[in-house]
Amino acid sequence: MCNMSNSSKAQCCWALANSYLSAADQLLENSSGQVFVPILYLLGHSLELHFKAFLISQGIPEKKLKSREFGHNLIACLLERV
C-alpha cells in the first residue's frame, strides 16, 4: 500500500477509469464493429474503477475493495453505498 491520501487515491483511480472509457470510445468510433467484446470489457472495467474511486473517496479501505467480497463484483460495489 502507498501512503497517498484517500482523496489522491480516488483521483488516480478516477483518472484511470476515464482512460479506459476513452479507449472504449475511440475503439467504438474507429472500428468496423468487429471489436464488440473488447469494447464491453473496457466499459466494464471503467465502470468498476469509477465505482471503486467513489468508494475510496468515501473512506472504504483499499484492502476491502481488493477482497474476494468485492473484487470485480460490480453489484457489491454498487450496493456498498446505496
Query: Could you tell me the three cell numbers for 51?
Result: 465505482
The C-alpha cell at 30 is: 474507429
Largest CA distance in the chain: 44
Q: Is 55 exposed, middle or buried (0-12, 13-18, 19+ CB in 10 A)?
A: buried
Distances in whole angstroms, Cα of residue 57 to Cα of each of 38, 62, 80: 29, 10, 13
| Interval 17-35: pLDDT, tens | 999 999 999 999 988 778 9
pLDDT digits (tens, 9 = 90+) for 45-58: 999 999 999 999 99
Residue 66, φ and ψ in degrees, nearest 5: -90, -5
